[in-house]
Amino acid sequence: MKIPIEKLIPKYENHLYAVAFGICRNRCDAEDVVQEVFLKYYTGEKDFESEEHIRAWLLRVTVNLARDKVKSFWNRNKVEWEGYMDSVPFENPQDRDLFEAVMGLPEKYRIVLHLFYYEDYSVQEIARILKKKENTVKSCLYRGRGLLKARLKEEWGND
């Protein structure tokens, strides 16, 4: 099964961009990663079992390419994500605080939290996508939530 690229791009580009940005912390790099993911899909010969298999493959390739991008030589000379913050419109100050707190988490927690809360994947699905054990994903969710809670308590008080 292979869905035409024209149907996949509008459906998944924002989700893939969010995952890539969470890892790269740079708008341009995240856009490059998403383009490369769709190019790999378009030029690839892989046959998929279902649309869910395609979605999982797209996310997995996005994570891998974004990690490669972060490790690259060019990444050392990029502007930090804090510079990007000034160009993002937030409806209220708490949204900005939440975004900063999530972006301040280590990558392994950021990715798992994003897939769980924003992409609505189950623990089992995240484990399959990231090629990790379910208990590892559960630990990352637990620890990520704890770190996020601690950071937000500092900023928002004891609410």
Dihedral in degrees, nearest 10, Cα atoms 66, 147, 83, 28: 10
**Per-residue pLDDT at 94:** 74
In the chain, which residues have pLDDT < 50? none
User: Where do the domains of the chain lie?
Assistant: 1-88, 91-159
| CATH for the stretch 91-159 | 1.10.10.10
- What separation, in Å, do the N-terminal and C-terminal C-alpha atoms of the chain show? 49
Return the CATH fold of 1-88. Rna Polymerase Sigma Factor; Chain: A (1.10.1740)
What was the pLDDT predicted at 114? 83
- Cβ partners under 8 Å of residue 122, min gap 6: none
Full-model pTM: 0.60
